[in-house]
């Protein structure tokens, strides 16, 4: 029986269904899928169309707090917040669960967008029957939406995408060659706003070189791991957040402060979303291996090399092989990551012909200064998908959807016009 809660003017209904691990083997092993239905309390009995929200990531669960767009969505839809397979309450994939499997790498090959879409189709049948529903995809959720249009367009009423139009053809290496310049641009923006932080960042790196500093969990904070705090640069207000972090870096005795180490740990640890690290490059693979694409592309950008003596530059959402040595949440998964990076039989995620012939209404917002998704890739993809209209803006950062009702309100207007 579904579990029902009432909170903040909403009725929340929790659903759990079994889905095949491998959708090509429906009689084989199953895993559990969790989704939370959300409807405005005063519309709980109304016959509303369904909207399924696909979170960014990969490897991030659906939001538990009410996101900024939800009030707007709940005026018109019965909203479904999905924990994508392996996340949240959907049979989680973590170091604790994966290390007990007979074939963890074979298991993980079923956690990309194609499997997520097939899960969603089973959930749609369970909740909405034959009625098609609307997809709202944030970031990686937008990637999944394009896979949905490729695999099961009959299940879709309309599609809205926020910061999630990837290249349909680029290799992982090409994705990261395009990503590093965007990250450098965000570094320049940061240090232009806070020029004094250049010295502060260098002081932290020098201290980490000279001392063995431990994070609250006991693992070591190395200079290159500290560099990865730039992963948050592309979100609204996170330039200021890093500035405030550096302001509090040192305690009065010249050691790195407990406050600083606690906040850094919250950014650099993958304990909450190990699938993000394991599958981040695999989400771009179509018939090729990733071969640690971000690490290979890094060689083209010496600005990030801490040993060259230049100013400190922070990296973005790149996953490096050494993370599986330095992060305790990832260290037990190192051999799986190596094998996934070497795997070359990934199926295609997008059907270019079907996307070109698409008749499902699609609206997308492209963030002009998006650090995570290459703007030119998004624009090319927008031209390759039939029925897609887009809005390009520098009003929002990558997380613009969560900043209030504005972005979603415009997307709804676009998809309906």
Q: Which of 380, 415, 392 is nearest to 163 (CA)?
A: 392
- Tell me if 307 sits within 8 A of 364, measured CB to CB: no
Calpha distance 193→213 (Å, rounded): 28
- Tell me if 150 sits within 8 A of 65, measured CB to CB: no
CATH architecture of 3-168+350-416: 3-Layer(aba) Sandwich (3.40)
Active site residues: 139, 370, 398
The 3 state secondary structure assigned to 274-314 is HHHHHHCCHHHCCCCCCCCHHHHHHCCCHHHCHHHCCCCCC
In the chain, where the domains are located: 3-168+350-416, 187-342
Supply the pLDDT for residue 238: 78
| Tokens read off for 80 | 């479904």
Predicted TM-score (pTM) of this structure = 0.96
Calpha distance 162→397 (Å, rounded): 10
Q: Name every residue whose Cβ is closer than 8 Å to that of residue 311 and which is 6 or more positions away in sequence.
A: 191, 198, 201, 202
Q: Which of 272, 271, 277, 264 is nearest to 216 (CA)?
A: 264
Calpha distance 79→38 (Å, rounded): 5
Calpha distance 75→48 (Å, rounded): 9
- Tell me if 140 sits within 8 A of 308, measured CB to CB: no
Q: Which of 60, 117, 165, 109 is nearest to 285 (CA)?
A: 109
pLDDT in tens, the chain (417 residues): 688 888 888 999 999 999 999 999 999 999 999 999 999 999 988 999 999 999 999 999 999 989 989 999 999 999 999 999 999 999 999 999 998 899 999 999 999 999 999 999 999 999 999 999 999 999 999 999 999 999 999 999 999 999 999 999 999 999 999 999 999 999 999 999 999 999 999 999 999 999 999 999 999 999 999 999 999 898 887 789 999 999 999 998 889 999 999 999 999 999 999 999 999 999 999 999 999 999 999 999 999 999 988 999 999 999 999 999 999 999 999 999 999 999 999 999 999 999 999 999 999 999 999 999 999 999 999 999 999 999 999 999 999 999 889 999 999 999 998
In three-state secondary structure terms, 78 is strand
Q: Which of 60, 85, 82, 77 is nearest to 139 (CA)?
A: 60
Calpha distance 315→184 (Å, rounded): 8
Q: In what side-by-side order are the strands of the sheet with 50-54?
A: 3-7, 10-20, 30-40, 78-83, 50-54, 133-138, 156-162, 362-367, 388-393
Residue 245 exposed, middle or buried by CB count within 10 Å (0-12, 13-18, 19+): buried
Q: Name every residue whose Cβ is closer than 8 Å to that of residue 308 and which is 6 or more positions away in sequence.
A: 302
Calpha distance 368→392 (Å, rounded): 6
Q: Name every residue whose Cβ is closer than 8 Å to that of residue 179 and which is 6 or more positions away in sequence.
A: 294, 297, 316, 317, 318, 372, 374
Calpha distance 371→210 (Å, rounded): 32
| Angle of CA points 160, 358, 279, to nearest 5° | 60
């Amino acid at each position: 029986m579904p579990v029902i809660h009432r909170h903040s003017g909403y009725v929340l209904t929790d659903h759990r269904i079994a889905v095949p691990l491998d959708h090509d083997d429906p009689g084989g092993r199953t895993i559990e899928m969790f989704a939370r239905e959300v409807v405005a309390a005063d519309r709980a009995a109304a016959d509303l169309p369904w909207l399924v929200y696909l979170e960014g990531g990969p490897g991030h669960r659906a939001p538990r707090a009410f996101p900024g767009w939800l009030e707007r969505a709940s005026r018109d839809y019965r909203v479904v917040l999905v924990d994508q397979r392996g996340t949240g309450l959907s049979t989680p994939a973590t170091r604790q669960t994966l290390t007990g499997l007979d074939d963890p790498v074979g298991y993980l090959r079923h956690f990309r967008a194609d499997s997520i879409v097939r899960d969603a189709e089973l959930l749609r049948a369970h909740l909405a029957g034959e009625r098609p529903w609307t997809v709202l995809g944030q970031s990686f959720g937008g990637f999944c939406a394009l896979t949905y249009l490729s695999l099961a367009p009959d299940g879709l009423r309309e599609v809205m995408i926020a910061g999630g139009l990837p290249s349909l053809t680029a290799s992982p290496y090409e994705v990261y060659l395009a990503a590093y310049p965007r990250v450098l641009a965000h570094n320049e923006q940061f240090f232009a706003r806070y020029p004094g932080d250049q010295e502060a960042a260098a002081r932290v790196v020098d201290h980490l070189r000279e001392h063995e500093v431990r994070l609250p969990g006991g693992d070591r904070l190395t200079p290159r791991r500290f560099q990865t705090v730039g992963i948050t640069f592309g979100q609204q207000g996170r330039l200021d957040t890093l500035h405030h972090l550096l302001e509090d870096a040192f305690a009065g005795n010249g050691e790195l402060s407990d406050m600083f180490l606690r906040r850094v740990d919250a950014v650099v640890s993958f304990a909450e979303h190990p699938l993000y690290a394991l599958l981040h490059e695999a989400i771009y693979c179509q018939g090729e291996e990733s071969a640690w694409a971000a690490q290979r592309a890094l060689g083209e950008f010496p600005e990030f090399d801490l040993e060259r003596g230049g100013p400190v530059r922070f990296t973005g959402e790149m996953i490096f092989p050494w993370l599986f040595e330095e992060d305790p949440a990832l260290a037990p998964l190192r051999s799986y990551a190596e094998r996934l990076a070497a795997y070359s039989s990934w199926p295609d995620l997008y059907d270019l012909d079907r996307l070109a012939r698409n008749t499902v209404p699609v609206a997308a917002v492209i963030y002009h200064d998006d650090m995570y998704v290459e703007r030119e890739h998004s624009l090319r993809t927008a031209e390759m998908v039939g029925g897609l209209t887009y809005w390009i803006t520098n009003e929002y950062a990558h997380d613009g959807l969560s900043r209030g009702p504005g972005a979603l309100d415009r997307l709804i207007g676009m998809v309906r016009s």
